[in-house]
Structure 1
Amino acid sequence: MIRDRDSRFTALFDEVFTTAGIRVVLAAPQAPRMNAIMELWVGSVRRELLDRILIMNERHLRTVLAEYETYFNRQRPDRALNQASPLRALPDPVDADIEVSRRDRLGGLLHEYAQVA
């Protein structure tokens, strides 16, 4: 478990995880953005996925998270990247009429849009 160095987390807090066999790793000192990236990911997964789907078991969770990870990195638009995806640049703008196709993922929970050639 990765946690920050806040004084609210006492040695007893860490002991609970250590007893369960979980190694506690402290975030780097004076690195405020270190947690921000993971907080964005966790928040997105909760809002866009886990709040909308019932997870049946660990295997189902892993399958759903793998599908969401692919969607998050390849299809989901990111405001910081000017609506591009982390692993896919925006296509060049087209002035002609274009047709758009939609592909549903995870039973319609997520949608992918693409231009039809």
Structure 2
Amino acid sequence: MWHEPGGGWGSKSNNSPVTRTRHPTAEWLAQQIVEAFPWGTAPTYLVRDNDRAYGQAFTNRVRTMGIRDHPISPRSPWQNPYVERLIGTLRRECLDQVLIYGERHLRRILTLYSLYYNETRTHLGLAKDTPLRRSVQQSGTIVTIPMLFGLHHRYPRI
């Protein structure tokens, strides 16, 4: 599901064409989430804003699918930038560089990127460490280990 620049909403499932609407209803959004995650493939959590379009029909459907619905706090726009930053980073560093051949391929790429992001990619906000702390060798020969099929690399010392 995505929000289009012109103000409309769109979605596409594996078995249906792209559907769009300028005025999404809770029923329409509920159907889109079912089509986006068929056969028990739904995520554990859904973080979303408090748009009125996410009405009772949507929240009931999400709950019956076993998804924990976490709308951001009312009047808390500062909570949106975190997910927007993650989506932007994911697009720039990964998805804009790779041709995706299907859902299985996308899931594989996202899994590999998640490993890279959390175990290898340094973050300035973490004093150039990774979210999952890593040991750093002070001496040794530097080797190159390709990650994400060579899109990114790791440079450990051995």
Aligned partner letter, 2:140: I
Higher relative contact order (CA 8 A, sep 6+): 1
Task: Give runs of aligned pairs for residues 48-87 of structure 1, distance below 5 A.
Answer: 48-87=93-132
Equivalence for 1:104: 146
Deviation at 1:59, TM superposition (A): 0.3
The structural deviation recorded for 1:34 is: 2.1
Cα drift, residue 90 of structure 1? 5.9
What count of residue pairs does the alignment treat as equivalent? 107
Is 1:13 equivalent to 2:55 in the alignment? no
| % identical equivalent positions | 31
Corresponding residue SS for 2:146? strand
Q: CA deviation at 1:40?
A: 2.0
1:37 and 2:37 are equivalent in the alignment: no
Give the unaligned 5+ runs of structure 2: 2-6, 8-22, 35-57, 60-68
2-structure distance, mates of 1:57, 1:21: 18
Query: Aligned residue for 1:4?
Result: none
Alpha-carbon displacement from aligned partner over 1:56-108 (angstroms, at most 9, x marks no partner): 0000000010000011011001010111000114637x3xx532111002221
CA distance in 2, matches of 1:51, 1:27: 28
Structure 1 residue runs of 5 or longer lacking an equivalent are 2-7
- Provide, for residues 16-61 of structure 1, a one-character-per-residue CA deviation record: whole Å limited to 9, x for no partner: 4234246466421233442222222211110011100000000000
Superposed CA RMSD in Å reads 2.9
Preserved CA contact (<8 Å) 1:101 1:113: yes
Report how far residue 14 of structure 1 moved.
4.5
2:24 alignment partner AA: F
Q: TM-score, normalised by structure 2?
A: 0.56
Which range moves more in the overlay, 46-55 or 82-91? 82-91
